[in-house]
A and B are shown apart, each in its own frame.
Chain A
Amino acid sequence: MSDTSQITILQAINKALTDAMAEDDSVLVLGEEVADPEEGGIVGVTKGLSTRFGPHRVRSTPISEQAIIGAAIGASLAGFKPVAEIMLMNFTTVAMDMIVNHAAKLRFMSGGQTHVPIVIRTMTGAGFGTGGQHCDYLEAWFAHTAGIKVVAPSNAADAYGLMRSAIEDPDPVLFIENLPTYWTPSAAPQPGARVPLGKASVLSPGQDVTVIAYARMVQEAQAAVASLKAGGISAELIDLRSVAPWDRRTVLESVARTGRALVVHEAVTPFGVGAEISAVIHEELFSRLKAPVKRLGGAFCPVPFSKPLETAFAPRAADIEAAVRSLLAAA
């Protein structure tokens, strides 16, 4: 596959799962509707896996999120590497005990005797009019929990590479997929390429300000950065890729140069990932900042159904651009 070809994020994840399962018999897939008789997932991310790898390794489950994560944990304790799908991120709430009290903590509580090398795949993101219980970004809850990693890719190559790394990682990884951008094409990954967990990527270098984003907000930020550039403002865009652990070094190096930072996520702002990043930047770079770090996130409310409200809920390119301009004006 040449690196000039384009694939969607959905195809990239499907390919990562296929390649991982082909290379390693211990990789399993389970979740609601993931097998082919149930159409390989609600949007087809796991299509073809059960046909190719059989019903022992790829299983559709009942609607039983606790049992799904529990089974993944148990199989992982016995040597497997399960990739469990929780259809939508809001449904992780039903499995929080298994994720937070067990998957994240068993290594520590067993004094390192056991560990839980599972991946929890889940999708989310506002935009389809599904309202308050189907599209929240809840990554901060998990990032706040010691013992579980959180990744949220924004393009096909990263989705592939992060999935390969997540499956190989010896600890639980929550893998967040953005529903509205599943079908957006981008450069195809090199077969087998891994993207390390915890490593950000600098998408466009700049001098005036650092914009830190992940998941769908990267696409919004790219549009904002392009528009700012046309107006003579040079913004450095960092795609975090991993939310926890996050790449402090790349972020701090960048902000040390630019002196200004904006963190953007779709999740609500209070107590969010942006708060953590902002705090660390202030702690490490206080004297070099030209302006206080800014955060931009979803409105502090449940995701509304009504279209104009849903549209206003998450930050857009224009909001990012305006926030950058206000950062520059504050200097």
Chain B
Amino acid sequence: MTAPTITGVTPDAATQRDIYRRMALIKANDERARKVIRAGKLVLPYYSPRGQEVIPSALSVLLTNDDYICTIYRGIHDMLAKGVPLKDLWAELAGRVTGTCKGKGGPMHITHPKSGVMVTTGIVGSSMPIANGLAWASQIKGDGRVTVAYFGDGASNIGAFHESLNLAAVWKLPVVFVCQNNEWGEHTAYEKATSARQIADRAVGYAMPGARVDGNDPFAMYAAAKDAVDRARAGGGPTLIEAMTYRFHGHVLGDADAYMDKARKEAAVAADPVPRFRAHLIAEGIATEAELAEVEAAIEAELDEAVAHALASDYPTVEELACDVFAPEAVVGEAA
């Protein structure tokens, strides 16, 4: 975590504290989720974002609720950083009718338009084409919104990535493509599946700016995100950010991660960006230990409340199977 090289893009003290709060929330939420699932209180496929906290936190401080994101199954950090309310999120994880999607979407398909979370996809690569459409809408309306498409390193090998980057560049769309390169796609190591030395290089082929940054460094990530978001807002078109990070856990909760190199993993965990940034804030006098402890305690209390709310909520009734397939009035003739 070094001082940023570009002048004028250092987040101010309040912004740094804001970034930390989001990171701490993601970390605490992840720890809580794994605990609750392991205790058997909830059953769901869970894709931990642990280790990737910085990326959406440093980016989301540059966004408002009006800005859009499209994210993926491993996207709970992106949602939390963007501001999806914990209670609604947890109720969805629990499949309860009080959830963001009435329990019908589940953890891989959280949608929460109020906080700008427009799509969460379980299909690798599919966040990007849709992000382009949101960005196109903003371009037509001139509403100044920015759309962020989050995806993984593995997703850069699917056709949708290439089609989307090209389209966004041709149309100069206000979109930011954020590849969270955690070195793994399920059990496949980056270099086994990806020809590019770095994914950022792929931007060259689509004539858009591309940057590889340390996605675990809040300053580097903020600077790259600000550059991209400012460009998008100013009508300068899309950017590809390759944010380097590391997946602390197996692909999905329950995956024993035996295929992951132990030493590499230990080194990444030892460099955990959350306590590192915390220590930095205290050392630089940006926040005191007591202030951060208070932030963390508030998060824990909010989590207690969210989990309790989720578990106490009702499941949707089976009538919900027939609802939301079409608009209530849209079915002409007899429903199947």
A binds B: yes
Cβ contacts A to B, 14 pairs, < 8 Å: A42-B186, A60-B188, A62-B193, A90-B123, A93-B123, A94-B123, A94-B160, A134-B122, A302-B325, A305-B44, A305-B104, A305-B105, A306-B320, A308-B315
For the complex, is B45 an interface residue (Cβ under 8 Å from A)?
yes
For the complex, is A301 an interface residue (Cβ under 8 Å from B)?
yes
Q: Which residues of A contact B185 (CB under 8 A)?
A: 63
Min CB–CB distance B47 → chain A (angstroms): 11
**A interface residues (Cβ-Cβ under 8 A, vs B):** 32-33, 37-39, 42, 60-66, 90-91, 93-94, 128-134, 268-270, 299-302, 304-309, 312-313
For the complex, is B286 an interface residue (Cβ under 8 Å from A)?
no
Known A-B contacts A33-B187, A39-B259, A62-B154; the reply to A304 vs B104 at CB < 8 A is yes
A309 near B316 (CB under 8 angstroms)?
Answer: yes
* Cα distance A129–B335 in the bound complex, in angstroms: 26
* Cα distance A301–B106 in the bound complex, in angstroms: 15
Q: Which residues of A contact B318 (CB under 8 A)?
A: 308-309, 312
B43 near A307 (CB under 8 angstroms)?
Answer: yes
A309 near B320 (CB under 8 angstroms)?
Answer: yes
Min CB–CB distance B196 → chain A (angstroms): 11
Total number of B residues with any Cβ neighbor in A under 8 Å: 44
Known A-B contacts A63-B124, A63-B125, A301-B325; the reply to A309 vs B157 at CB < 8 A is no
**B interface residues (Cβ-Cβ under 8 A, vs A):** 43-45, 95-97, 102-109, 121-125, 154-155, 157-160, 185-188, 192-194, 258-259, 315-316, 318, 320-322, 324-325, 335-336
* Cα distance A312–B315 in the bound complex, in angstroms: 13
Looking at the complex, which one of A37, A304, A307 makes contact with B192 (CB distance below 8 Å)? A37
* Cα distance A299–B108 in the bound complex, in angstroms: 21
* Cα distance A38–B185 in the bound complex, in angstroms: 10
* Cα distance A139–B220 in the bound complex, in angstroms: 48
Min CB–CB distance B48 → chain A (angstroms): 16
Looking at the complex, which one of B104, B159, B324 makes contact with A306 (CB distance below 8 Å)? B104
Known A-B contacts A62-B194, A94-B123, A301-B325; the reply to A306 vs B158 at CB < 8 A is no
Looking at the complex, which one of B45, B96, B259 makes contact with A37 (CB distance below 8 Å)? B259
Looking at the complex, which one of A38, A63, A91, A308 makes contact with B316 (CB distance below 8 Å)? A308
